[in-house]
Amino acid sequence: MTTFTKGLQGIVAAQTVKSLVMGEVGRLLYAGYSIRDLAEYATFEEVVYLLWHGELPTPDQLADLKARLAVERKLPEVVVATLHALPTDALPMDALRTGVSALGAAYPKAAQVDEAGAIAVLARVPGIIAAFHRVRQGLEPLAPRADLDYAAHYLYLLSGHEPTPAQARALDVYLLLTADHGLNASTFTARVVASTLSDLVSAVVAGIGALKGPLHGGAPSEVVKMLDEIGDAANAEAWLKGALARGERIMGFGHRVYRAEDPRADVLRDLAQTVATPARYALARTTEEYAIPLLEAHRPGRKLYTNVEFYSALVMEGVGLPADLFTPTFAASRAAGWTAHALEQVADNRIIRPDADYIGPAERPYPVVELV
């Protein structure tokens, strides 16, 4: 007998050494390391190495990884031409999905399901996002540089200006906080594709498609819209009460797994204060302070606490990203996790093929019509 669980909730579909989500107590580990410790002491590149290898890198290993990522930053001309051919009003997530797919067709190394392939893909995801962002403004993509780390290089490719140390560090921490998160929807999708022994680019493109959905990766931009509508901290309580009375969802609160505060939100709250304007930060803090008790009163026992998306919005806005690049930037982080899980899947593979609970009609005869 098989048991149907809607959304596969509670179903164990894979074994992993990449990350552990402890929803009841609000903790997250990458390969045994607390996300709070990693946010304080590590960089995104160190987390990438940790996810791919299971251990933090030595200084030499970290330098080697950074050098290999820098070498792979240049986009093939076919990819740039593909981005130029897209409508300038295309969604950036659509452009990213298309650009990564073109990369797989133009650069076979990126299709390899190994570390070389993972580097080839991960190194170019920020460049694809930035190239399309510039193209849609009538600007040419910038040539990559080898002297900037992953987060700072991404911000440089977008604007042509080196970010401040505070901006670079804020984005770097955001990226490492969101690099992996158990068997989330996009990671599960990437693992399913990898389990068929397809190529790495196909797995990443599938992950991008899943992340595009507003129930997964689209929430931070919705937080910005909500804060814009509230406008001022003095309006927060009334706006939230009105939204709940209308049955609207309060963005940035609640999580499928966490029944305590998302530990990433705790880190991002402090981080946002370093890059957001004082007025914007005050608006977010006041909104949060009113939202949690109002949500508890409206939906008792649901434990709807602040999630990663709420302060992610302030961090990405604070480093200068437009709202429609929030989800692609999430992809620039989560590509580290997708590739790590794809490599883990193929190392001990069995095709992922769950059962379906058929609830249609019983077998019945075909209605043959006799010709007169």
Residues that are catalytic: 255, 309
3-state secondary structure 260-302: CCCHHHHHHHHHHHHHCCHHHHHHHHHHHHHHHHHHHHHCCCC
* Alpha helices per DSSP H over 107-218: 115-122, 125-135, 150-159, 165-177, 185-195, 200-211
Helix (H, G, I), strand (E, B) or coil at 359: coil
Q: Containing H/E element for 61?
A: helix 59-71
Which residues have a Cβ under 8 Å from the Cβ of 136 and sit 6 or more positions away? 88, 89, 90
Helix or strand run (H / E) with residue 90: none
Q: Is 138 helix (H, G, I), strand (E, B) or coil?
A: coil
What are the backbone angles phi and psi of residue 109, rounded to the nearest 5°? Answer: -60, -35
The two tokens of residue 299 are 């939906």
DSSP H helices, 1-58, are: 35-41, 44-53
Q: What is the rounded CA–CA span in Å between residue 254 and residue 310?
A: 10
CA dihedral 244, 248, 253, 254 (to 10 degrees): 100
